[in-house]
């Protein structure tokens, strides 16, 4: 890894589009075997990464069908240490995918620059990654391409990215011509032999990662990718020699690297075992990595955040003609609704943006200046407002607390795969169907002041009451990895997968509350006061359970919380009661509320 060039964002070139489906592209993050990734912004002024698929894949109708199905399934995946898919489109000339992002350092970069990790950090890393796989598999999705470049190290733990959309490429010219789908060094025996891939495949890959992270040595040697894949495929006849690995790492490897998939541990079992062996809580990330690595992560987070802010502040340039016709021509631009102001610190545990560099490297994402690992880099959000995307056939997503992640595959491996059960993917397509919603045409330009984001104008509007004081119970789940979503336009609270991303304003997690649209506190119950409060008195986008409940709680009885909803309406949530949690671990209270909605 080289620190000579800290830039992770590049200006758009004449071959790059200026807009995709109403999303204005601000800069280029990187490119790889499946396409190019661009920085953009949501209507809520949060950065996202848009990946535009290469033309040769886009021309394959089978690819489009599979891409749509696999991404729909992937959008159902939610959980801690997981980076969600936020939006996508397969109907235009070039299919695209948007993800969320957390600045950090790819695990392969960390190994190349700093060497193996201490065993306690290894077990914490593997345990957290196993928890992420548990969430992936719970949604009937198999990663299929788990490897060091698909794990980000952050100050708030590891994040799993790029759920391998390898299955979407199964019928493309790439595979018909004998191409390899997946990364050979981290395949399971069944994957290398072309047999059915199940959740146990990801556990095998995680075992290989554990060996490399702890010692720098791959259990199947240091040969080329295909020779290692051949050795892995031969595991039933000749198991790898694990005698050189220290205890208790060897115990983990012996279980995870079983040739019989049925003999491997489940991700939940593996996470529980790693928690015991690590000697600390898996979610205790205070000093979890060696100091040099911690400092490098912090440096990258600051650098990426500064670059993203500079891009947002740069005046709009007259763009060169786009390389291809935008999917939807912009009809009008709606002013960005004021998000909470970004702090000088790096974001907390929010979904990640993955920005690979270019050039040759191992079959991972982007290039590497180190001999063994690719060198992706990451970009962070800024507080500067950027014009929102123009209206298109669906509402542009509004990202809560964070920034985005996109992983670029150099060898034709990329985003989300599903197992052989078709029902889940079909159901997901129905559950996450995009709703059409018009952005208000009367939105006045937002006023700017130094050091703050623009706020919507509260004066001069006409408000029409849709409903008033509807009782809604904001109930947090009491199970690890579970999340409830809140749709204030309805209004209703339901399990995460039952409310589409474009319909959510808030999520109630097992250990935190996160806003998807920006919320603020109102000083009064009129719509004018509500909209002013939403813009001028923001609450944090993410509230951990430690900030909820008790006398110093960020949300207390009597509060009036206001937001502009995903459908462009104005919602006011009155907190009429707070019921403390009685759970020993998960302390997010239940909020009794009355919801009022106005059409703006």
Report helix, strand or coil for 383: coil
Provide, for the chain, the percentages of residues in helix, strand and coil under a 3-state DSSP scheme, each rounded to the nearest 5: 30, 20, 55
- How many CB atoms lie under 10 A from the CB of residue 521? 17
Burial class (CB in 10 A: 0-12, 13-18, 19+), 98: buried
Using the Cα atoms of residue 112, residue 113, residue 115 and residue 119 in order, give the sign of their dihedral. Answer: negative
Check if 145 is active-site.
yes
CB 159 within 8 A of CB 151: yes
Structure tokens at 472: 């809604």
Task: Give which of 126, 236, 241, 145 is closest to 184, Cα–Cα.
Answer: 145
Alpha-carbon dihedral of residues 241, 245, 250, 253, nearest 10 degrees? -60
Please list, in sequence order, all residues whose beta carbon lies within 8 angstroms of the beta carbon of residue 281, skipping any fewer than 6 positions away: 275
Query: What does DSSP say about strands 519-521 and 23-24: parallel, antiparallel, or unpaired?
Result: unpaired
Query: What does DSSP say about strands 376-378 and 354-356: parallel, antiparallel, or unpaired?
Result: antiparallel
Q: Which of 87, 145, 487, 559 is catalytic?
A: 145
Rounded to whole angstroms, the Cα distance separating 340 from 345 reads 14
First to last CA, the chain: 51
Q: Residue 571: what are its φ and ψ, rounded to 5°? A: -115, 140
CB 196 within 8 A of CB 420: yes
Tell me if the bond preceding 491 is cis, omega within 30° of 0. Answer: yes
Any bridge partners for residue 492, and if so which? 487
Rounded to whole angstroms, the Cα distance separating 9 from 312 reads 11
Structure tokens at 92: 């235009």
Structure tokens at 437: 């919603």
CB 341 within 8 A of CB 45: no
Rounded to whole angstroms, the Cα distance separating 507 from 79 reads 12
What is the set of active-site residues?
145
């Amino acid at each position: 890894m080289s620190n000579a060039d800290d830039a992770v964002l590049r200006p758009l070139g004449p071959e790059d589009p200026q807009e995709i489906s109403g999303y204005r592209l601000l800069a280029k993050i990187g490119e790889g075997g499946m396409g190019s990734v661009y920085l953009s912004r949501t209507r809520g002024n949060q950065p996202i990464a848009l990946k535009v698929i290469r033309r040769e894949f886009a021309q394959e109708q089978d690819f489009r069908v599979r891409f749509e199905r696999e991404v729909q399934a992937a959008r159902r995946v939610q959980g801690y240490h997981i980076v969600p898919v936020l939006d996508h489109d397969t109907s235009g000339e070039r299919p695209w995918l948007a993800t969320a992002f957390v600045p950090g350092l790819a695990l392969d970069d960390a190994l190349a620059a700093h060497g193996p990790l201490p065993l306690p950090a290894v077990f914490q890393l593997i345990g957290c990654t196993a928890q992420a796989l548990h969430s992936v598999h719970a949604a009937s999705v198999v990663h299929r391409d788990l490897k060091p470049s698909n794990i980000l190290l952050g100050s708030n733990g590891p994040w799993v990215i790029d759920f391998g959309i390898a299955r979407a490429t199964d019928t493309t010219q790439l595979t018909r011509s004998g191409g390899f789908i997946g990364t050979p060094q981290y395949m399971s025996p069944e994957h290398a032999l072309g047999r059915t891939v199940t959740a146990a495949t990801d556990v095998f890959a995680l075992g290989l990662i554990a060996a490399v992270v702890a010692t720098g040595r791959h259990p199947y040697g240091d040969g080329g990718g295909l020779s290692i894949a051949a050795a892995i495929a031969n595991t039933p006849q000749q198991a790898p020699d694990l005698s050189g690995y220290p205890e208790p790492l060897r115990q983990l490897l012996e279980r995870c690297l079983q040739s019989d998939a049925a003999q491997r541990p489940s991700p939940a079992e593996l996470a529980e075992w790693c928690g015991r062996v690590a000697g600390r809580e898996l979610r205790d990330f205070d000093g979890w990595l060696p100091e040099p690595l911690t400092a490098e992560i912090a440096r990258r987070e600051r650098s990426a955040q500064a670059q993203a802010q500079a891009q947002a502040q740069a005046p709009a340039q007259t763009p060169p003609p786009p390389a291809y016709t935008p999917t939807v021509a912009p009809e009008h631009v709606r002013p960005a609704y004021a998000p909470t102001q970004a702090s000088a610190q790096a974001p907390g545990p929010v979904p990640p943006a993955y920005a690979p560099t270019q050039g040759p490297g191992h079959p991972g994402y982007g290039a590497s200046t180190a001999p063994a690992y690719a060198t992706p880099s990451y970009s962070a959000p800024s507080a500067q407002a950027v014009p929102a995307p123009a209206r298109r056939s669906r509402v542009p997503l509004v990202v809560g607390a964070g920034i985005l992640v996109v992983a670029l595959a150099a060898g034709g491996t990329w985003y989300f795969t599903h197992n052989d059960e078709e029902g889940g993917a079909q159901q997901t397509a129905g559950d996450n169907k995009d709703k059409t919603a018009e952005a208000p045409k009367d939105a006045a330009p937002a006023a700017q002041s130094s050091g703050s984001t623009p706020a919507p104008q509260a004066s001069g509007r006409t408000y029409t009451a849709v409903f008033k004081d509807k009782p809604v119970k904001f109930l947090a789940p009491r199970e690890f990895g579970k999340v409830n979503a809140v749709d204030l336009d309805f209004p209703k609270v339901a399990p995460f997968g039952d409310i589409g991303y474009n319909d959510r304003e808030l999520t109630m997690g097992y250990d935190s509350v996160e806003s998807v649209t920006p919320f603020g506190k109102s000083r009064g119950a009129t719509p004018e006061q509500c909209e002013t409060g939403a813009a001028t008195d923001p609450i944090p986008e993410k509230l951990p359970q430690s900030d909820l409940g008790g006398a110093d709680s960020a949300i207390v009885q009597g509060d009036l919380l206001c937001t502009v909803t995903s459908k462009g309406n104005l919602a006011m949530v009155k907190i009429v009661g707070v019921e403390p949690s009685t759970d020993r671990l998960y302390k997010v209270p239940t909020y009794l509320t009355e919801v009022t909605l106005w059409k703006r």
